[in-house]
Amino acid sequence: MHRQIHVDWRAGLALVGTILAAFSLAFVVPIVVSLAYGGEDLWVFVVSMVATAGFGLSIRQLESEPDPGAREAFLVVALTWLLATVFGALPYVLAGNGAVAYPVNALFESMSGFTTTGATVMNDISFETHSRAMMMWRQLTQWLGGMGIIVLAVAILSQMAVGGAQLMEAETPGPGVSKLTPHIAETARVLWLAYLFFTVVYIALLYGLHLAGYAPNMDFYNAIAHGFTTLPTGGFSPEARSIEAFSPAVQWLVVPFMFVAGVNFVLWWHVISGDPWALFRDNEFRLYLGAVTTLSLVGTAMLFFSALETPETGVIGGNLERSARYATFQIASLTNSTGYANMDFDAWSGPTKGLLLFAMFIGGSTGSTGGGIKVLRWLVILKSLRREVFTAIHPEAVRPVRMNGQVLDEDAVRGIYAFTLLYFVIFFVGVGLLAADAARVGLELELIDVVSASIATLGNIGPGLGEVTGPMGGYESFPRSSKLLMILYMWIGRLEIFPVLVLLTRAYWQS
């Protein structure tokens, strides 16, 4: 029986084509880097750029004046991210170096980049294997994905002004987009400007440390490379040992910027425009600050009173500066899903790793570049649970849930419960599937590896807590089927499940 398809997929695809064509300009950055470093891999990026632009321009022909509606927004957002990942993987395959030369690995690395996950299948991160241009491309994918490809497209493409709000809604982390200005394109620009502002300041400070002599190996290349992955809560580093490779001064500088990346950029916009108290009036920010501070203090105490010692770091237990540095850094990094490591925290004791696992379930704030469940959702859940307790005592009490003094719609509260429940269901299904898949191919994994691989990809965090998935390990050893599952998880995790999930329902296409 023939069923009518009720989604204007032609218009959707045409719009995706427009976005892809604009997106192909991003390859200019690695091309410039390549030229600066002797032209290595130059052809790779030129070919990728031409292919991306060509494909984008050709599917744009499907509809001359695309006018996608609310329903097509899901398709556009989900497909844009998928296609950006596919074309972003092209350079890895074309260059043909290391493990990422294999298509599935390349896709994994690309998806991990755009979704700012930071999980890697590169088992030999060094400039001997990969060109500097290639490593910069890997960093850049995170920077582009951080504030969102769609948000960027809305900011720069005038034809996306009308449906832009719906597209941004589907892409932006957390429930709801707050329009800062009457024009959505202006709002998108404002968000990107705040993002750019922090990135530039951060790069300047990193390079400043280098010039001042506090960071010998933080050269201009590294400053930019890390500038590209801190603000988007990415976590990729061209250094094999992540931030551990840098001096304590650099590590301390990274902490506040990771924290900044986990805050709603709408709030940063208010701060930059001269209203710093906007931050502290925000319930979500206060909880985020409180959670990161508390967890850091607990972590510091746990490390301080441990007998932890590793060859790379020296004695940590009993050393206050080191305990504080490692604990604060890892908590700041894992809470908001950045995924940097300043030491191999796989060496931490079980309870201390438990603290990190707990932090991984918190996530960043709404409208930040962080992944995970998001602080706002936890706040709403906590508030409505408190209400449940209260109404158990006073059955007739009517208690709206408030956020920043504003009443939250009960539908929104229900939506948050549904999301969080679904998140956990998907997380547990992931644990099961990854464990079963590992058993199928005879890969021996510890439970913590499987558990943290599931949350680290779904939450766009990156490194897990086990030997294999840990910060100094890699996802390369997982079977190909598991990698495909994790690619799916990173994708739905970044888009917060629903925009992808609705595409898989019959109702979306036919009713």
Residues that bind another protein (CB under 8 A): 394, 396-400, 402, 405, 407
Alpha-carbon radius of gyration of the chain: 22
* Nearer to another protein (CB atom), residue 65 or residue 396: 396
* Nearer to another protein (CB atom), residue 276 or residue 400: 400
Minimum separation from the CB atom of position 284 to another protein (A): 18
For tokens 């999301």, name the residue.
Answer: 419
- Residue 357: closest CA among 271, 431, 281, 268: 431
What CA–CA distance (Å, rounded) separates 500 from 6?
17
Structure-block tokens of residue 394: 């006073």
* Nearer to another protein (CB atom), residue 401 or residue 485: 401
Minimum separation from the CB atom of position 414 to another protein (A): 15
Mapped onto helix, strand or coil, the DSSP state of residue 310 is strand
Q: How many CB atoms lie within 10 A of CB 216?
A: 11
What CA–CA distance (Å, rounded) separates 398 from 392?
12
- Cβ atoms 436, 310 nearer than 8 A: no
- Cβ atoms 143, 236 nearer than 8 A: no
* Nearer to another protein (CB atom), residue 182 or residue 405: 405
- Cβ atoms 105, 99 nearer than 8 A: yes
* Nearer to another protein (CB atom), residue 156 or residue 408: 408
- Residue 476: closest CA among 56, 7, 101: 101
* Nearer to another protein (CB atom), residue 384 or residue 454: 384
Minimum separation from the CB atom of position 367 to another protein (A): 24
Minimum separation from the CB atom of position 390 to another protein (A): 9
Structure-block tokens of residue 280: 């502290």
For 309, phi and psi rounded to 5 degrees?
-155, 130
What value, to the nearest 5°, has the Cα angle with vertex 16 and ends 163 and 502? 70
* Nearer to another protein (CB atom), residue 204 or residue 397: 397
What CA–CA distance (Å, rounded) separates 10 from 20?
15
* Nearer to another protein (CB atom), residue 67 or residue 409: 409
* Nearer to another protein (CB atom), residue 386 or residue 399: 399
Minimum separation from the CB atom of position 391 to another protein (A): 10
Minimum separation from the CB atom of position 396 to another protein (A): 4
Question: Using CB atoms within 10 A of its CB, is residue 136 exposed (0-12), middle (13-18) or buried (19+)?
Answer: buried
The kind and range of the H/E element at 403 are strand 402-403
Minimum separation from the CB atom of position 460 to another protein (A): 35
Minimum separation from the CB atom of position 158 to another protein (A): 38
Mapped onto helix, strand or coil, the DSSP state of residue 307 is coil
Minimum separation from the CB atom of position 382 to another protein (A): 17
What amino acid is encoded at 259 in this protein? Answer: F
What CA–CA distance (Å, rounded) separates 272 from 475?
39
For tokens 């706002």, name the residue.
Answer: 376
Map 33-86 to HEC letters: HHHHCCCCCHHHHHHHHHHHHHHHHHHHCCCCCCCCCHHHHHHHHHHHHHHHHH
* Nearer to another protein (CB atom), residue 290 or residue 400: 400
Q: Which residue(s) pair with 407 in the sheet?
A: 402
- Cβ atoms 233, 370 nearer than 8 A: yes
* Nearer to another protein (CB atom), residue 70 or residue 385: 385
Q: How many CB atoms lie within 10 A of CB 232?
A: 32
What CA–CA distance (Å, rounded) separates 250 from 219?
12
Minimum separation from the CB atom of position 386 to another protein (A): 14
> What contacts 225, CB < 8 A, 6 or more positions away?
135, 136, 139, 237, 238
The kind and range of the H/E element at 198 are helix 184-211
* Nearer to another protein (CB atom), residue 96 or residue 400: 400
* Nearer to another protein (CB atom), residue 7 or residue 408: 408
What CA–CA distance (Å, rounded) separates 419 from 435?
24
